[in-house]
Amino acid sequence: MPDLSSTPSPPSVLFVCVHNAGRSQMAAAFLTHLAGDRVQVRSAGSAPADTVNPAVVAAMAESGIDIAAEIPKVLTVEAVQSSDVVITMGCGDTCPVFPGKRYLDWQLPDPAGQGIAAVRPIRDEIERRVRDLLAELTQTS
């Protein structure tokens, strides 16, 4: 008989892009904002930038989410191993692949070097995909 006293841990999601300064930061911020403690959220980059893209910070602020204090993080094998779902956004073959993990590749334009007007549609598409992902992750069986 299964042990019903233990509660299952929430699903964990890792968002990865090259610089961890745009797409993955927006996705992680949306999922954290929308899911609260129902999902563990991480983001990382294969070649992290020094800072988050200022146009991305501004675009997220328009959505009521402050990511100004976020710092790009380096992608580690441990982060991939401890995640249930790994979502890549243009990091190509630099993401380690482990059996048993679910991988999704979201083809999205890179906001690097873009102004806020170009970042808004990327932000909105990321929010839509994050909402769909959250609905899927939190379905009751």
Query: How far apart, in whole angstroms, are the C-alpha atoms of residue 50 and residue 134?
Result: 29
- Cβ contacts of 83 within 8 Å, gap of 6 or more: 12, 13, 14, 40, 42, 101
Alpha helices in 16-115 (DSSP H): 23-35, 54-62, 77-81
Among residues 13, 16, 17, 56, which one is catalytic?
17
The residue annotated as part of the active site, out of 28, 39, 91, 134, is 91
Radius of gyration of the chain (CA): 15
Known catalytic membership, residue 44 = no
In the Cβ-directed half-sphere of 132, how many Cα atoms lie within 13 Å? 8
Whether 134 sits among the annotated catalytic residues: the reply is: no
Residue 111 annotated to the active site: no
- 57, 89, 95, 108: the active-site residue: 95
Catalytic residues: 17, 91, 95
